[in-house]
Amino acid sequence: MPQDTELAVRTIGISKEFFGQSVLEDVDFDLRWGEIHALLGENGAGKSTLCSILAGLYHPTRGEMTLAGAPYGPHSPHAALEAGVGMVYQHFRLVEQMTVAENILLGNPDVPVRMTASGLADRAREVMDRHGLWIEPTKYVGDLAVGEKQQAEIIRLLNRGVKVLILDEPTAVLTPREAEALFAALRNLADQGRGVILVTHKLREVQQSADTVTVLRSGKKVAHQRVEDTTTHDLARLMIGDDLAPGSGSVDASHATGDELLELHSVSVVSDAATRPELDGVNLTVRAGQIVGVAGVSGNGQRELAEVITGLRTTTSGTIRLRGEDISSQTIGDRIKNGMGFVPEDRLTRGLVLGLEIEDNVLLRSQRDREFSIGPFLRLSAINQWARRLIDGFDIRGVRKGLPISVLSGGNLQRLILARELSRQPALLVASEPTRGLDVGAAEAVRTILKAERGRGVGILLFSGDLEEVLGISDEVVVMYEGRVVASRPASEVDVAQVGRWMAGLT
């Protein structure tokens, strides 16, 4: 592959803001031809944003880019592809109802409008032979395993003449063996002279398969090194940051923890035998008056754990007890009645009904409560009063009579969910990402509320991608990796670097 310069891609001072909020700040990034370059960082560090800019999906707010030495500024993913930059997204851009051959050749300008199925298959075979990758071209994409779909996506991009290949968390959905095959294929592509960018948060992958690594943290570049010059320990520190004092936990002896409230005993969830289990033998205990914080890079089973406890998902095996009673097979309604509060991660689609008014939203999950309904009839005046009390008590602003709550701001919507779930005086509160997307003040207010609830004896299971938050208010820290609980310690006994290593799958 003839190259004009040594550098495939260079970004100079790239910044990106969404609605005035900065997600990338002054990032310089260099990709050489023939290398696999890992882009490492926690969730929200800006990896995906940077890649989306390279792939033409977003436009940088500031900064410049070059491709093979020439100015580069794609105004659409299509333009990026024309220029030779292609991205494999976590959600594949494939048409499941079409064959592999059709997908690979889809949108290819050289393919005649009318072509027989066997003609297409032959063309696809030719393409695959050229790139040393192979999937049966006549199979339907919907019938392929995840790893095969990913390969089909890569072949499709290669067929479009891609010289720079970007992969966003490509191993998140793969089995270990599929991942190995993928890395072998990527190495081959790099050896042919292409540039490969590998977005990941798995340190082991960086060590095993990348040549160079750039670490992003909170939208800034914090390191750019050859992989052989670093250790996983260094990378974990760079990725998580070391500005937190070890053991910054809030544990004060002033509140006593009580009896076991929630007990999980080897809980597993297996939805597809072909991939790794979503949850793999999870043991966990939450006591009354205790905050248990679950740390982990997102996608390692936290969502599934929250869903299985609250009843949105069923267990494959294992038991879940709430105050000694086995609730594994109880309905969501029964779990609510038994004192379970839940602040879900998807607050806009699950936690609230955006098209309905505030009264309907405070009623959510309490519609069968005697306080708000008599038999089949709702007690509208009681509900109205309740809504007004929550609006005042939790300072929810922007409510307008007769309009759906979609007019409220993000912080007010989150306060509304918290207000509703806490006002039911639950014994256990499962809170998923309760402060995500809130400004500093609003987030602190939420944490204060959670601590106050703990003081009243509520057991809280807190899922948060913000490690500082987990260590800051939890009594006990649990770390999840690939569906397993890999560590469970009192917050006072762990430091950030240690948790960071656990999160990255190291011991």
Partner 1 sequence: MTAPTVDRAASRSGRWHIPITVEQRAASRFLQQLGVNLVALVLAFGLGAILLLMAGDNPLDVYREMFDRAFGSSRALRETLRSTTPLILTGLAVTVCFRMGLWSIGAEGQLIAGSVAGAAAALVLGPSLPAPLAVAAVVIAAALGGAAWATLAAVPRALFGTDEVVTTLMLNFVALGIMNYLIFGSVSYWRDRTNPGFPAGKVIPESTQLDPYFGVFDAGLILSLALALIVALALRRTVWGYQLRVAGDSRAAASYAGINSTRQIISVFAVSGALAGVAGGTYVMSITFALEPRAIAVNLGFVGIVVAAVALLKPLLVVPIAFLMGALLSTAPSLSIFGVSPAVVIVIQGIILLCVAGAQFFIRYRVRITRVEVGSR
d(C-alpha 195, C-alpha 1), whole Å: 11
How many whole angstroms from its chain centre is CA 356? 28
d(C-alpha 93, C-alpha 103), whole Å: 9
Q: Is 184 in the site for partner 1 (CB under 8 A)?
A: no
Closest distance of CB 197 from partner 1, Å: 17
Which residues 6+ apart lie within 8 Å of 492 measured at CB? 247, 249, 251
Kindly tell me which of 76 and 188 has the beta carbon lying closer to partner 1. Answer: 76
Question: Which of 211, 175, 180 minimizes the C-alpha distance to 195?
Answer: 211
Task: Give me the residues paired with residue 432 across strands.
Answer: 463
Q: Is 367 in the site for partner 1 (CB under 8 A)?
A: yes
Q: Is 265 in the site for partner 1 (CB under 8 A)?
A: no
Which 3 state secondary structure label does DSSP give 183?
A: helix
Closest distance of CB 333 from partner 1, Å: 3
Closest distance of CB 68 from partner 1, Å: 22
Closest distance of CB 404 from partner 1, Å: 5
Q: Is 23 in the site for partner 1 (CB under 8 A)?
A: yes
Kindly tell me which of 224 and 368 has the beta carbon lying closer to partner 1. Answer: 368
Out of 346, 395, 444, 493, point to the residue binding partner 1 (CB under 8 A).
Answer: 346
Q: Which residues in 421-440 contact partner 1 (CB under 8 A)?
A: 437
User: Within 13 A of 466's CA, how many CA atoms are on the CB side?
Assistant: 18
Kindly tell me which of 145 and 348 has the beta carbon lying closer to partner 1. Answer: 348
Q: Is 373 in the site for partner 1 (CB under 8 A)?
A: yes
* 81 in Cβ contact with 162 (< 8 Å): yes
Closest distance of CB 34 from partner 1, Å: 30
Cα first-last separation, the chain: 42
Side chain identity at 223, as an amino acid letter?
Answer: A
Q: Is 172 in the site for partner 1 (CB under 8 A)?
A: no
Q: Is 125 in the site for partner 1 (CB under 8 A)?
A: no
User: What are the CA-CA distances from residue 194 to residues 1, 8, 84, 163 (Å)?
Assistant: 8, 8, 10, 5
Task: Give me the residues paired with residue 200 across strands.
Answer: 40
d(C-alpha 228, C-alpha 214), whole Å: 13
Out of 57, 106, 145, 497, point to the residue binding partner 1 (CB under 8 A).
Answer: 57
Kindly tell me which of 378 and 427 has the beta carbon lying closer to partner 1. Answer: 378
Out of 12, 106, 223, 312, point to the residue binding partner 1 (CB under 8 A).
Answer: 312
d(C-alpha 388, C-alpha 372), whole Å: 14
Q: Is 314 in the site for partner 1 (CB under 8 A)?
A: no
d(C-alpha 464, C-alpha 469), whole Å: 7
Q: How many binding residues for partner 1 (CB under 8 A)?
A: 49
d(C-alpha 87, C-alpha 291), whole Å: 40
Kindly tell me which of 205 and 359 has the beta carbon lying closer to partner 1. Answer: 359
Using CB under 8 A as the criterion, what x/- string covers residues 399-418 for binding partner 1? ---xxx-xx-----------
Kindly tell me which of 407 and 452 has the beta carbon lying closer to partner 1. Answer: 407
User: What are the CA-CA distances from residue 16 to residues 31, 40, 442 (Å)?
Assistant: 19, 18, 24
Question: What are the tokens at 140?
Answer: 């339907």
Kindly tell me which of 226 and 400 has the beta carbon lying closer to partner 1. Answer: 400
Q: Is 344 in the site for partner 1 (CB under 8 A)?
A: yes
Question: What are the tokens at 314?
Answer: 């069923």
Q: Is 360 in the site for partner 1 (CB under 8 A)?
A: yes
Stretch touching partner 1 by CB under 8 A, among 25-33, 42-50, 440-448, 487-495: 42-50
Kindly tell me which of 132 and 142 has the beta carbon lying closer to partner 1. Answer: 142
Closest distance of CB 341 from partner 1, Å: 12
Q: Is 97 in the site for partner 1 (CB under 8 A)?
A: no
Q: Which residues in 140-169 contact partner 1 (CB under 8 A)?
A: none
- Helix (H) or strand (E) run with residue 455 in it: helix 440-455
Q: Which residue carries 């998140």 as its tokens? A: 172
Out of 14, 30, 35, 56, point to the residue binding partner 1 (CB under 8 A).
Answer: 56
β-strands 428-432, 459-463 pairing: parallel
Q: Is 75 in the site for partner 1 (CB under 8 A)?
A: yes
* 149 in Cβ contact with 96 (< 8 Å): no
Q: Is 353 in the site for partner 1 (CB under 8 A)?
A: yes
Question: Which of 203, 267, 290, 190 minimizes the C-alpha distance to 239?
Answer: 203
Using CB under 8 A as the criterion, what x/- string covers residues 452-481 for binding partner 1? ------------------------------
Which 3 state secondary structure label does DSSP give 402?
A: coil
Question: What are the tokens at 420?
Answer: 């509703």
Out of 29, 33, 58, 481, point to the residue binding partner 1 (CB under 8 A).
Answer: 58
Which residues 6+ apart lie within 8 Å of 298 measured at CB? 43, 465
d(C-alpha 87, C-alpha 370), whole Å: 54
Q: Is 62 in the site for partner 1 (CB under 8 A)?
A: no
Stretch touching partner 1 by CB under 8 A, among 55-63, 230-238, 464-472, 492-500: 55-63
Kindly tell me which of 98 and 354 has the beta carbon lying closer to partner 1. Answer: 354
d(C-alpha 104, C-alpha 100), whole Å: 6
Q: Is 76 in the site for partner 1 (CB under 8 A)?
A: yes
Residues forming contacts to partner 1 in the complex (CB under 8 A) are 18-19, 23, 44, 48-49, 52, 56-59, 75-76, 311-312, 331-336, 342, 344, 346, 349-356, 360, 363-365, 367-368, 373, 376-378, 380, 402-404, 406-407, 437
